[in-house]
Amino acid sequence: MLESRHVEALRLLLGEKGILTAAPDLASYETGARYDRGQAAAVLRPGSTEEVSAVVAYCVRHGIPLIPQSGNTGLVSGSTPDMSGREVVLSLDRMTDGFALDIDNRSLRAGAGWRLSDVNRRLEEHGLFFPIDLGADPRLGGMLATNTGGSRFLKYGDVRRNTLGLTVVLADEAGTILHLASDLRKNNTGVDWKQIFIGTSGAFGIITECVLNLEPLPRQVATAYLVPRGDAEVMPLLRAMEERLGSYLSAFEGMSANAISAALNHVPSLRNPFERGEVPAYVILAEVSRSWAPREGEQSLDQVLEAVLAEIWESEAAPLADAFVGPAHEMWALRHALSEGVKHSGRLIAFDLSFRRGDIMGFCARMRAELPALFPTVRICDFGHVGDGGVHFNLVVPKDDIVAGDADFERRLRDFVFKVAVEDFNGSFSAEHAIGRKNQPYYDLYTARNIRDLAAGLKALLSPGALGAARFG
């Protein structure tokens, strides 16, 4: 509970609807959309950059720790308060004032509280979209603070690549507002400060507004399932596709048999697309897309994809055991069901890893070889973004297993997986969810001392106040 003098002062700054203190009102802000649970001292809901500045200044001056919260859809406890009941949630959910579309510039200036789905719904009539494709439906501020990538990174890149500018409030005694909200694509006139706030979990400042690059909406899409002959054929297959499809290729997603089976079991309406229902060990979902409407005299994208697959099929390397083009919505429906399917197949311990692309299959093979002896009841249900090196390395234990929900077991499992991923494969322990409380021990462990010291110095320079769930200082 926040002291009543603070509640009164903050209410003066934000008005009645700007602060919540009653337990039932707090509940939804204390619970992650997918995981996680904490206790908030209060929830602040500013409606403008100036209000954010005012309350941040107040809280820093009074030593009140703030947790910025956006869509709250992350996986690493980055946007929920801890269990102390001392932390105040600063929600961006009312930060939806601005929505300035610049069609000539293909850019959008918007408040950080906008939901991704709402942004794209509004942009549709203009033939544009913000090209980050995610299973969840986050708000922009959180997407920026985690630098999400998603399934079409291969073509469009991550949030960082698609951000032109930001407005940020620093956690200092003045609640300093940094105007970094350029609409320019080319601008090299000093330190590109916005980069510091992207992907750092809100610890260095609160993003209140952003200017985003938009892309022409795809108007033609074709998809195929590709079954590589073996692990060693996945990279030749990717290279062959990139060589033959260039910027048409918009997704190259890998799905393990265990993940596919979990989805098919969980969502009975999904059609099993494989011959005799036998799920192959590893399946690639490849997507090609382009932004124009079909034109006369032009091959359809299905035809293009068929032709490319035929070429690859007959090539000397012969990396394919099977391949078929199919309806995009159906093929993506299975892909999108993986996450929920896996989650429902037992107690899930999720990892968001990334590797050099050529190391993905080797890492998974190593895990298949070593995990069973060390953690016998664990099932590997990996899937991921092979085209950009991202792996959703999901481990599941039966719900009735003695280790399910055991914190010590989970810690040992995490320690082992991260050790192999980071130390042996030079991979990343957080591809697109940033730090949060969950990844904090691994940030502390795997970040070089001089880099951590510099981060602490930068934190002191920018935002000395207690801000965010991640600790850089």
CB of 465 to a second copy, least distance (A): 16
**167 belongs to the binding site for a second copy (CB under 8 A):** no
CA 180 to chain centre: 23
Nearer to a second copy, 10 or 350 (CB): 350
Q: Out of 389, 394, 467, 469, point to the residue binding a second copy (CB under 8 A).
A: 389
**196 belongs to the binding site for a second copy (CB under 8 A):** yes
CB of 390 to a second copy, least distance (A): 5
Identity at 266, one-letter amino acid code:
H
Retrieve residue 83's tokens. Answer: 């269990």
Binding to a second copy in span 404-433, by CB under 8 A:
426-433
Q: Rounded to an integer, what distance in angstroms lies between the CA atom of residue 90 and that of residue 54? A: 12
**190 belongs to the binding site for a second copy (CB under 8 A):** yes
**188 belongs to the binding site for a second copy (CB under 8 A):** yes
Question: Going by DSSP bridges, is the β-strand pair 163-169/88-91 parallel, antiparallel, or unpaired?
Answer: unpaired
Binding to a second copy in span 114-133, by CB under 8 A:
127
Q: Out of 6, 70, 439, 466, point to the residue binding a second copy (CB under 8 A).
A: 439
Nearer to a second copy, 276 or 449 (CB): 449
- For the CA atoms of 134, 138, 32, 376, the dihedral, rounded to the nearest 10 degrees, stands at 10
Structural contact between residues 106 and 57, judged by C-beta atoms closer than 8 angstroms: no
Structural contact between residues 417 and 426, judged by C-beta atoms closer than 8 angstroms: no
Structural contact between residues 77 and 83, judged by C-beta atoms closer than 8 angstroms: no
Nearer to a second copy, 85 or 246 (CB): 246
Site string for a second copy, 225-264 (x = CB under 8 A): ----------x--xx--xxxxxxx----------------
Identity at 369, one-letter amino acid code:
A
CB atoms within 10 A of CB 404: 17
The DSSP 8-state label assigned to residue 472 in this structure reads -
Nearer to a second copy, 345 or 354 (CB): 354
Binding to a second copy in span 53-92, by CB under 8 A:
none
Angle between the N-to-C axes of helices 328-344 and 257-266, in degrees from 0 to 180, rounded to the nearest 10: 90
Looking up tokens 């070089």, which residue turns up?
448
Binding to a second copy in span 301-330, by CB under 8 A:
303-304, 307
**393 belongs to the binding site for a second copy (CB under 8 A):** no
How many binding residues for a second copy (CB under 8 A)?
93
**135 belongs to the binding site for a second copy (CB under 8 A):** no
Q: Out of 198, 301, 305, 334, point to the residue binding a second copy (CB under 8 A).
A: 198
Angle at 223 between CA 220 and CA 229, to 5 degrees: 155
Binding to a second copy in span 358-387, by CB under 8 A:
358, 385
Question: Going by DSSP bridges, is the β-strand pair 128-129/107-111 parallel, antiparallel, or unpaired?
Answer: unpaired
